[in-house]
Amino acid sequence: MSQREDIDYSEHFSTDTWSRFFRLAKPLKKQFVHLFIVMAWVAVFDNIAPLMTRFAIDYFIAENTKDGLVLYGIGFAVVVLMQALGTKFFLKVAGGIEVEIGHQIRDEGYRKLQSLSFSYYDKTPVGWILSRLIADTSRLAEVVAWSLVDIFWGGASIIAIMVMLLVMDWSLALLSLLIVPVLFVVAILFQRLLLKVQRDIRRENSKLTGEFNEGIMGARTTKTLHREKKNTEEFRETATRLYGYSLRAGRLSAMFLPIISLLGAVAAAVVLTVGGQRMEQGLLQLGTLYAFFIYTMRLWEPIRHIARVFRDLQSAQAAAERVMALLAEQSDLTDDPDVLARYGNKDGEGREPWPAIDGRITFDNVTFAYKSNEIILDRFNLDIKAGETIALVGDTGAGKSTIVNLLCRFYEPTKGRILIDDADYRERPLSWLYSNLGYVLQTPHLFSGTIADNIRYGKLDATDDDIERAAKLVSAHDFIMRHENGYATEVGEGGGRLSTGEKQLISFARAVIADPSFFLLDEATASIDTETEHAVQQAIETIRRGRTMIVVAHRLSTIRNADRILVIHDGRIVEEGTHDTLLEQKGRYADLYRMQFMQESYDELDFSARANQPDMGS
């Protein structure tokens, strides 16, 4: 979809995105502080070894004494222990931050998804949402956590080294620290160059992935069109461009380290020369000179860490933007605050109890458009009596599903009102209507878990007896018992281990156990075997007793049994009546009916043809 086109590279560092992100991460403030403390600790102990060496040289060796060596050994052991503990804690805290950021974004994103309206789901592919909350979130959490480590450690290291140098010999320290600003400037310049190439790399990489994707998905078509060579040539262009950019990036980063460490070495060489002279003059001890030398040689390392942060953040920026976009989505379907105060989100939570439902539905001059310029329903009127069964028939796109969507309040009318028992449903909370809906989809959707879990979804406090009763009511009990584990049978991801017919019966049981006032059925078009088909029919007959039922009809038998059939065309009711009266009219319904009959007969012919010739294969 065009509005969801993914851009895996972004042009500029966006402070806005990151400040929004850190606002989001506010609850983790304490952990950030912890990380800062731990990283300072780690930085200090990481840089303490030269001081220990200095002490050994300037004290024990210079004085030629072993006095206090045991104490020194103990002290050193403590230092080593501190350093090791620092390592453990820093991994714990930084890892904790990574985990918590991921946890929190997923949690928040998931909650957001539960509140978003169907207009969002209709225009957003499942895969897109999944990548945001799985891949992007992990990447973001990782980059942020370890960038903080880099920045804190780098900052603390520089400060620690500076302090040690200044304390040991401030004038020599100032001389050697002259190199620090130079290092910073060079490091940042390099990172900017690298950033540019890496952006190119990411762009080409995302193109390359797209081309692989298409090359594989379209391979059969490509073959029939005889385009293999041409496609490969086009692919070669992208791959070669990527290659070129990668080599450039490789050369740049190969240059970066030598240059920056050479700059560090300049400072070390100066220290060695000047410090050596001072030592000759007796102004400096050998151990101190050695420590100075080591420290100045190490200066570039923390600077490199800090410079790297901006590059990493930028590379994760696209992920951050997409995740933030998801979290910032606004639902266009929410309860009015007054309504919520009056009735509450659950029965009994508000000032008044939820009104009981009789089952009348009225569409009062309802106009609806998914997109502002495409009107699906225009001043649509419809009255449904309590307990009536209505069948909606018509071509794809005629507006049947829209009517069901509006009735379920998955969408709300653009203009006009929908009344339930004579009251506009917008004057009731969303969950009031939802908890009174029984909804069975064209493609039945089950959740991972057991059959019992799935039926219980309709009524969370249902007992095992309730579940069995519901299953029996829709003739699902027998097939369930045929499974080895009965009600405890795992249905697999999305119910994948069950047949379509079985899934459908379970979704009926799930709806029945909820005991809804309204029953909506989007009938399956996929053919199921005759036995299950029969069971499904019986289930429908059982369910519709005493309930208002609306069927988007595909099956002839359901159509015949409806109290009223509405033929929908272009968002209008063009014919209305019972099966028999409509057939007599010889209008659109008669046509549709014949077409369906034709299709169904042909399907049966398939079966009979197969049955007639049982000598199939081996």
Partner 1 sequence: MSENSEKKKTRFAWGELFAFYRGEFTRLYVSLAATLGSSAMVLLIPLVVGYLVDDVLLNQGASVLPAIFGRFFGHIGDRAYLLQNLWVFGAIILGLYALDGMFSYLNNARITRFAETGALNMRLRLFSHLQRLPFAYHKQAQTGDLVQRCTTDVDQIRRFFQMQLSEMVRCLALVVIATVMMFRLDTKMALVAIASTPILFVSSWIYFKKRRYAFRVWDEAEGVISTVLQENITGVRVVRAFDRTDFEIEKFAVHNNALNRVAKEQFRIMGDFWMASDLLAFSQLAAVIIVGAIEAIDGNISLGTLLIFISYSENLIFPLRGLARLLADAGKMQISFDRLKEILDEKPEPGDEDLLDPVLKGQVEFDRVDFAYPDDPRPVLKDVSFDIRPGQTLGILGPTGSGKSSLLQLLQRLYEPTNGSIRFDGIPATEISRESLRRQIGLILQEPFVYSRTIMENIRMPRPQASDTDVKNQAKTARLHREIQQFEDGYETMVGERGVTLSGGQKQRLTIARALIRTCPIIVFDDSLSAVDMETDREIRRAMRRSGGSITTFIVSHRISTLMHADRIIVLSEGKVAESGTHGTLLENNGLYRRVYDIQRAYLEEDA
Min. distance of Cβ 344 from partner 1 in angstroms? 13
Given a contact cutoff of 8 angstroms between Cβ atoms, the answer to whether 139 and 319 are in contact is yes
Q: By CB under 8 A, tell whether 226 contacts partner 1.
A: yes
Q: Return the residue of 20, 139, 227, 588 that touches partner 1, per CB under 8 A.
A: 227
Our CB check for partner 1 shows the closer of 580 and 615 to be 615
Q: In the structure encoding, which two tokens stand for residue 346, read together? A: 């659950």
Amino acid at 10: S
> Per-residue x/- marks for partner 1, 517-536, CB under 8 A?
---x----------------
Single out the segment in contact with partner 1 by CB under 8 A; choices: 27-35, 129-137, 537-545, 553-561.
129-137
Nearer to partner 1 by Cβ, of 77 and 481: the residue is 77
Query: Which parts of 484-513 interact with partner 1 (CB under 8 A)?
Result: 493-494, 507, 510
Give the C-alpha separation, 234 to 214, whole Å. 12
> C-beta of 16: minimal distance to partner 1 in Å?
26
State yes or no: residue 611 binds partner 1 (CB under 8 A).
no
- Least separation, in Å, of the C-beta of 507 and partner 1? 8
Q: In whole angstroms, what is the distance from residue 465 CA to residue 394 CA?
A: 40
Task: Give me the half-sphere count of Cα atoms (radius 13 Å) on the Cβ side of residue 586.
Answer: 0
Q: Could you give the CA distance from residue 1 to residue 59 in angstroms, rounded to a whole number?
A: 73
Residue from 211, 335, 427, 570 touching partner 1 (CB under 8 A): that is 211
Among 16, 68, 92, 358, binds partner 1 (CB under 8 A): 92
Number of chain positions touching partner 1 (CB under 8 A): 147
Residue with tokens 């496609």: 231
77 binds partner 1 (CB under 8 A): yes
Binding range to partner 1, per CB under 8 A, among 90-98, 192-200, 376-384, 415-423: 90-98
344 Rama class: left (phi>0) / alpha (psi -120 to 50) / beta: left
Helix 170-177, helix 228-280: angle, nearest 10: 150
Identify residues 57-76 at the interface with partner 1 (CB under 8 A). 57, 60-61, 64-66, 69, 72-73, 76
By C-beta, is 23 or 66 nearer to partner 1? 66
Span 11-40, contacts to partner 1 by CB under 8 A: none
Q: Which of 10, 14, 231, 538 binds partner 1 (CB under 8 A)?
A: 231
Q: How far is the CB of 97 from partner 1 (least distance, A)?
A: 10
Check residue 208 for interaction with partner 1 (CB under 8 A). yes
CB of 375 to partner 1, least distance (A): 16
Q: Of the candidates 16, 29, 223, 336, which one interacts with partner 1 according to CB under 8 A?
A: 223
Judged by beta carbon, residue 62 or residue 481, the one nearer partner 1 is 62
Sheet holding 415-420, edge to edge: 375-384, 361-369, 415-420, 423-424
Q: Which stretch binds partner 1 (CB under 8 A): 26-34, 476-484, 534-542, 598-606?
A: 598-606
At its nearest, how many Å lie between partner 1 and the CB of residue 276?
4
Structure tokens at 90: 């820093």
Query: What is the three-class DSSP state of 144?
Result: helix
First to last CA, the chain: 46
Minimal distance in Å, beta carbon 5 to partner 1? 5
Name the phi and psi angles at 614, rounded to 5. -80, 5
10 Å Cβ neighbour count for 529? Answer: 12
Interaction of residue 171 with partner 1, rule CB under 8 A: no
Among 416, 458, 501, 571, which residue interacts with partner 1 (rule: CB under 8 A)? 458
Alpha-carbon distance 315 to 387, whole Å?
59
CA–CA dist 386, 418 (Å, integer):
15
Q: Give the DSSP per-residue string, 448-510.
A: SSBHHHHHHTT-TT--HHHHHHHHHHTT-HHHHHHSTTGGG-B--GGGTTS-HHHHHHHHHHH
Q: Which of residues 335-354 bind partner 1 (CB under 8 A)?
A: none
Site for partner 1 in 369-408 (CB under 8 A): 408
The answer to the question of residue 411 lying near partner 1 (CB under 8 A) is no
Minimum distance from CB of 376 to partner 1 (Å)? 16
Distance, in Å, from the CA atom of 475 to the CA atom of 109, rounded to the nearest integer, reads 39
Check binding of 281 to partner 1 (CB under 8 A). no
Q: Provide the phi-psi class of 425: left if phi over 0, else alpha when psi is between -120 and 50, else beta.
A: alpha
Touching partner 1, residues 283-322 (CB under 8 A): 286, 290, 293
Task: List the Cα angle 470/474/476 in 5-degree steps.
Answer: 90
Q: Which stretch binds partner 1 (CB under 8 A): 84-92, 308-316, 472-480, 544-552?
A: 84-92
CB of 417 to partner 1, least distance (A): 21
Closest CA to 5 of 235, 219, 206: 206
